[in-house]
Amino acid sequence: MDYPDKAMANAPASAEVPWTTGGVETAARATGGVMGAVGRFRWVICSLLLFGATKNYMDRQVLGVLKTTLQHDLGWNEIDYSNVVFAFQFAYALGMLAIGRLIDRLGTRRGYSLAMIFWSLASMAHGIATSLGSFILARSALGLGESGVFPASLKCVAEWFPRRERALAVGIFNAGTNVGAILTPLFVPWITIHWGWRWAFLITGALGFVWLIFWLALYRKPEDHRSCSKSELAHIRNDPPDSSQKAAWRSLFPHRQTWAFAVGKFLTDPIWWFYLFWVPDFLQREHGLQLAQIGPPIVTIYVLSDIGSVAGGWFSSFLIRRGSSVSTARKTAMLLCALSVLPIVFADRVASLWTAVLIIGLAAAAHQGFSANLFTLPSDMFPSSAVGSVVGIGGTAGAIGGMLIAKIVGYALQWTGSYKVPFLIAGAAYLLALGFIHMLAPGLKQARLSTEASA
């Protein structure tokens, strides 16, 4: 299923687009008086995406915050815990392979709604799990449902934002992942201490139905939404026309652009999974924190991540506004982020808790800045009808990488009791990913897709 209006999609990334002319205001300038001239309802839509990503990451992060508690209560060792994480990643990988295409067919509104319902129920199911097997089953269902959030969100951004604002919009909604990771260690320990860990899963899962009410009430396509003014719709549709071709799903795999995005996700997504599922344990294990004490350090890490997410998207948009090509802008931002990750290799060697927290926080912020630009590449290089599917392929690659990191960390901890190997992998991943992206898509040129019927 094609996007509702081809006119909003991308110009070829290799073209020199006069971003600073033509009367189109960027989000950065629009925060002043100019924004009112074209309307701002698209940013309301962006806020819905932010809260959806927040809920998504709250459901993921509960497991990491409660790792020590669950290992104690359920008798898990490090490999058992890694198997629970692996189950999530395996289901997430399978879901990402199909969910992008499904959302392309169902549309953003219905597709995101169904994903939210499914994963919220799966999150609540953790609260009634009684064994390792039932936990793995619930975790698999969660991974399958959560695989829809980023394909749906990125499709929404492609529908509601002109190309020059997309990196900023992605950076803003992607900051929701950090908001979720900030909120979870603040209230999950309190719930666990007062009511038990089962209620932590039940309450966070149920929040999805609150979000769903607002989503169904507020989300429509721009041309169908009465809150989207004519001037704002013209602003959204300002980009040069996209190709009208409908891509066959199998036609995406031969393109180097597809593999550039997929390899980037394969190498960098696992690092974020590592932070999400193991950093709370690292702080408890290496620095002696109790469950009730874990909130402030984790909050600090993810506040820094939030800043990195928005700053990474803003910086590439700023470079484009100043006349840089899309390729130069995206890759410059990603290079700065990749270099900022490097101190993470020393995180397990410092004695000070807060030095370790700041090193990890810097790396997490750099990851999010890198990710904001990486997530924008499919809409830079593919017609809008293929964006959801390309994101699904990349998400699958990232989840496969997450499966591998789960096993690597689990066995490294079981055999050595040290986090040295995971932190070394984290330090190297981003420069390696950027090297592959540049090799496979040196100019971020738009892919020329087959006109076959959709697979």
For residues 356-362, give the mean pLDDT: 96
- Supply the pTM of this predicted model: 0.75
Closest CA to 287 of 348, 335, 377: 348
Show contacts of 285-293: CB within 8 Å, 24+ apart: 286/348, 286/356, 286/419, 287/353, 287/356, 289/353, 291/65, 291/66, 291/68, 291/69, 291/189, 291/192, 291/193, 292/189, 292/193
Work out the percent of the chain whose per-residue pLDDT is above 90: 49
d(CA 408, CA 414): 10
Q: Measured between alpha carbons, how far is residue 404 from residues 168, 399, 401, 422, 431 in Å?
A: 31, 9, 5, 11, 19
Higher pLDDT, 328 or 310: 328
Token digits of residue 312: 């990474």
pLDDT in tens, 238-254: 766 655 455 666 788 88
Distance CA 346, CA 353 (A): 13
380 vs 363, more confident: 363
Return the structure tokens found at 246.
Answer: 């409908």
Residues contacting 203, CB < 8 A, separation 6+ = 191
Angle ∠(328,11,374) on CA atoms, nearest 5: 45
- With cut-offs at 50, 70 and 90, classify the pLDDT of residue 4: very low
DSSP letter at 21? Answer: S
Per-residue pLDDT of 22-74, as tens digits, reads: 333 333 344 444 445 667 788 888 999 999 999 998 999 999 999 989 998 99
Task: Please tell me which residue, 320 or 124, carries the higher pLDDT value.
Answer: 124
**Residues present in the chain in total:** 455
Answer for the pair 10, 163: CB distance below 8 angstroms, yes or no: yes
Q: Which stretch of 19-28, 46-55, 175-184, 210-219 has the lowest confidence by average pLDDT?
A: 19-28
Average pLDDT, integer, range 408-429: 94
Cα angle, residue 128 at apex, residues 122 and 133 outer, rounded to 5° = 80
In 3-state terms, the chain is what percent helix, strand and coil (to 5)?
80, 0, 20
Asked whether residue 209 carries a pLDDT value surpassing 90, the answer given is: yes
Query: Which pLDDT band holds residue 313 (cuts at 50, 70, 90)?
Result: confident
The C-alpha angle with vertex 109 and arms to 108 and 114, in degrees rounded to 5, equals 100
- Helix ranges (DSSP H) in 75-162: 78-106, 108-125, 132-146, 149-160
Cα–Cα dist 106/140, whole Å:
23
Q: What is the pLDDT of residues 11-27, one digit of tens each?
A: 333 322 322 333 333 33
Dihedrals φ, ψ of 340, to 5°?
-70, -20
Q: How many CA atoms lie within 13 A of 419 on its CB side?
A: 26
Q: Do residues 305 and 348 make contact, with C-beta atoms less than 8 angstroms apart?
A: no
Phi and psi at 247, nearest 5°, equal -80, 135
pLDDT digits (tens, 9 = 90+) for 252-296: 888 999 999 999 999 999 999 999 899 999 998 889 888 888 889
Would you say residue 140 has pLDDT above 80?
yes
